[in-house]
Amino acid sequence: MGMHFHRFEKIWLIFGMVSLIVFLSIVGVSAFAMDQHPSGGMDTIDPEKVEETPPFDDPGVRQIDEDTYEVVMIAMAFGYEPSQIEVPAGKEIVFKVTSTDVTHSFTIVDTKVNMMVIPGQINEKRYTFDEPGEYLVLCNEYCGAGHHVMSTTIKVVE
């Protein structure tokens, strides 16, 4: 004697399963075929030796090639180093961030750059600024008494 499903139950189950397949397909295709995935990288670093370990021994902006710039930043309570950076619009910017103390985040407002900054790990995110201007960077991960003032700006120029 098999299980009996009411007709409406079948309709609802099919709707739910199709929705799930659609969501997983969209996310799967965008992750593997279009290279859109959460910021990542499995690189690790000794959090007590950040300032003497390359590339964090010289944080800042450096050009990798004609269309790519690397921005190396250190997050700490309660700011980012370097505090002032300037990058060009229309070029791919590779952000590499780590922390020397507690967990922070590196979030550029109104962009999809939003990543955790964890001591002992190097997180990386690639982004291209289409428009020049000043972009606010905030810490979205509670890190202590000064968390609410932890911010910096990125100046994007032509």
Partner 1 sequence: MGKKKNEENLKGTLVSVFLVGFIILIMWFGAYGLYLSR
Chain-centroid distance of CA 114 in Å reads 4
With a CB cutoff of 8 Å and minimum separation 6, the contacts of 143 are 77, 78, 101, 102, 103, 104, 150
Stretch that binds partner 1, among 18-26, 43-51, 79-87, 133-141 (CB under 8 A): 18-26
CA distance 122 to 32: 22
**By CB under 8 A, is residue 24 in contact with partner 1?**
no
Shorter beta-carbon distance to partner 1: residue 16 or 144: 16
Report the nearest approach of partner 1 to the CB of residue 45 (Å): 28
Could you say which of 53, 111, 151, 153 contacts partner 1 (CB under 8 A)? 111
- Is 26 one of the binding residues for partner 1 (CB under 8 A)? yes
Closest CB 155 distance from partner 1, rounded Å: 19
CA distance 44 to 50: 10
